[in-house]
Structure 1
Amino acid sequence: MAPYTRTVQARMVDGPGGLRRSIARVDDHFHGFEVILDLRLGEVVGAAASSHRHPWTTCPGALASVAALRGEPEHVARRLITSPREYTCVHVNDLVWFAARQHERRRYDVEVTPYGASLRRDGSPSFGWRLDGWRIVSPGPFEGLFVLGPEIGEALDGMDADDDLREAMRVMRRAVAVAMGYFELDWASFESAADIEWSAMAGSCHTFTEGRLRSARRLAAVPDTVLFA
C-alpha cells in the first residue's frame, strides 16, 4: 500500500490585460484545491478558489472567502489565515499564502507513513524525519519534538531559519497533520463529520464548525491503511 502523499505546487503565468497570475494547487487523497491571485503592480486585484476534490460536502462553502481578496499579497494572506474557519478553509488559506509568495515555479512532494516523512522540493530531496508517535526521532534540531507542536517554531527562530526552510517546514507539517487523520481515523465507520470524535479538528476546519458538522457528509474514499493498522 502506498503511503500518504501530498503535492503542493505554485507557478506564475501571464494573465489577461497585462496581469500576472499566481497559481497554487494542492493534491492528496482528500484534497484537490487551486487558488489564483491576479496581480497588477504587485497588488492583488482579483482572486478565486476552486476544488476538484474535497473530503466533505460542506467544503466548497469556504471557497467564496477568496473572491473578495484585494491588496498587498502578504497582508491579504495574513488576513485570510487569521479569519474564522466558519468562512475559510485551512487548506485554501495555505494556498493563498503560497500563491502570495509569487514563486515563478515551485513544487513540493511529501510522503508520510507513521514511521517517517520526507519532502522533495522541485524534484530534489530536501529533508526527512523518522517518526515515533508523530514525534521526530531523527538527530538534529527538532529531535524529540511533536511535529505539530509550537516548539518547532521556536526551534526555527532559534536557528534563525531562512524563508525557504520555513516554507518547506510549513508544507511538511501540514502534510503530516493530514496524514495523522489518514492513518488514525477509521474512515469506514462514519458517513458524517459528526461521527468523528477528534478534537484536533474543532475550530481548525471549515466543516468542523458549529452549524456544519452535522450536515457534512463524507466524500473521500476510505483509505486503505491496513498495512499500518
Structure 2
Amino acid sequence: MRERRAYGTGCYRRRIELAATDTEARGELGDDFHHFTVEIAHDDERVTVIEGAPHRIPWTTCPGALAPLQQMKEAGLGASVLDLVRHTPPKAQCTHLHDLSCLTIAHAGRVVSGGAAERRYDVVVPDRVERRAECYVEVDGNEVLRWSLEGLRILCASDEDFETHSIGSKSFREVLASRSTPDATEAAWILQRAVFIGLGRQHDFDAMKTAREFAREVGGGCHAFAPERLDQGLRALGNAHDFSDAPDTILSQPRNHPFRAR
C-alpha cells in the first residue's frame, strides 16, 4: 500500500456542525476524506424522519449506506451518543454517516431540553512523529479536551482520568461513559473517532483501485467494507483533501462533489 509522501508535515482536521429547532435537526461533517449531511425530524421523543446526503466520499459504494441509515428512525432523543451508536448494527452503516446521525439526534435531544440551538466541533490530530501526536477537540472555538498519544495509548491528558488508557481497547467505552456529563462523553468520543480516521492520512488512496486494498486496515467495520462489496467499491478519485492550513474551508466544498471512479 503506497504511503503519502507529505505525511508528517500537516494535520488531520474534522469539523462537525449541528443545528436544531424544536422539531428538526441538521448535522454536517467534513474532514480529509468525507463530507456528509444528515437531517432529522422528531416528535420531541423519537426520530420520525431521517435523511442523509453524501457530498464527498472515498468509495463509490458509500451512498448505498443511505438505506440502512433508515434504521435510525424511532431512536430516542434522550439517549446518549454511546447508546445511539448501538441503536442499529454499526457494521451495516457508513461509519461517518452513522456517527453524524447519532450526533444530530443527540443534539436534537439537547435542544428539546433547553440547550443551545447550534454547536460546532473542531478536531485537530497532527501527523504522527515517531508514533506520537498531541490532539485536541474544541466546542464552539473553545478547547475542551487534549490528549498526548503514543500509538493509541494516552500518555497525558487535560482530563487525567484518560491517562494510560488505550483508545483502541474494548474497555475504553467504559471510560467514555464515566465522564461527568453527556457533553464530556460526546467530545471525548468525537476525539477518539478522529484519531482513528486521521491515521488514514498516511495512505495514498488514489493509488488504490477498490476498497479491498484498504480492507485489512478497516476489518469489515462498515457498509463499504462488507465482504460482498469490497470489489464493487471503486475509489472515488480526487476526493481526499488536505485541510491542514484551511480549517474554515472543510464544509465549504461544493455539494455533490463529482468523482471519477477507476
User: Fold match, TM over 0.5?
Assistant: yes
Residue 23, structure 1, aligned to residue 4, structure 2: no
Aligned residues of 1:61 and 1:87 also touching (Cα < 8 A): no
In structure 2, distance between residues paired with 1:192 and 1:95: 25
Corresponding residue number in structure 1 for 2:37? 34
1:81–1:90 Cα contact (<8 Å) kept:
no
Q: Which residue of 2 aligns with 1:207?
A: 224
TM-score, reference length from structure 2: 0.73
Distance 1:141-1:52 versus aligned 2 partners, 3 A rule: same
Once residues 220 and 187 of structure 1 are traced to their aligned partners in structure 2, the CA distance between those partners, rounded to angstroms, is 8
Partner of 1:5: 13
Which ranges in structure 2 are unaligned for 5 or more consecutive residues? 1-8, 111-116, 243-262
Percent identity between the two aligned chains = 28
Q: Does 1:192 align with 2:210?
A: yes
Runs of 4+ residues over 6 Å off in structure 1? none
Does 129-138 or 144-153 show the bigger shift? 144-153
Distance in 1 (CA, whole Å) between partners of 2:193 and 2:215 is 20
Q: What's 1:123 paired with? A: 141
1:37 and 1:11 map into 2 onto residues whose CA distance is 11
Shift of 1:213: 0.4
Query: What is the aligned partner in structure 2 of residue 83 from structure 1?
Result: 88
The range that moved more, 106-115 or 145-154, is 145-154
**Cα separation, partners in 2 of 1:85 and 1:125, compared to 1, 3 Å:** closer
Once the two structures are superposed, residues 30-80 of structure 1 have per-residue CA deviations (whole angstroms, 9 ceiling, x without a partner) of 1111111111343322110111011110000001223462363357x8577
Quick check: 1:73 aligned with 2:92?
no
Q: Distance in 2 between matches of 1:195 and 1:132?
A: 26
More displaced stretch, 37-46 vs 100-109? 37-46
Q: Please state whether the residue corresponding to 2:229 is helix, strand or coil.
A: coil
Query: Which AA in structure 2 matches 1:169?
Result: A
Kept in 2: contact 1:118–1:127 (CA 8 A): yes
Give RMSD over aligned pairs. 2.7
CA distance in 2: counterparts of 1:82 and 1:212, whole angstroms: 23
Match for 1:107: what amino acid? R
Instruction: Answer yes or no: is the 8 Å Cα contact 1:182–1:223 preserved in 2.
Output: no
**Paired residues, what number?**
217
Counterpart among 169, 174, 195 of residue 176 in structure 1: 195
Out of 167, 171, 188, the residue aligned to residue 151 of structure 1 is 171
Deviation of 1:2 after TM superposition, in Å, equals: 3.4
Supply the distance in 2 between the matched residues of 1:212 and 1:86 (Cα, whole angstroms): 13
CA spacing shift, 1:43–1:177, aligned 2, 3 Å: same
Match of 2:124 among 111, 115, 118: 111
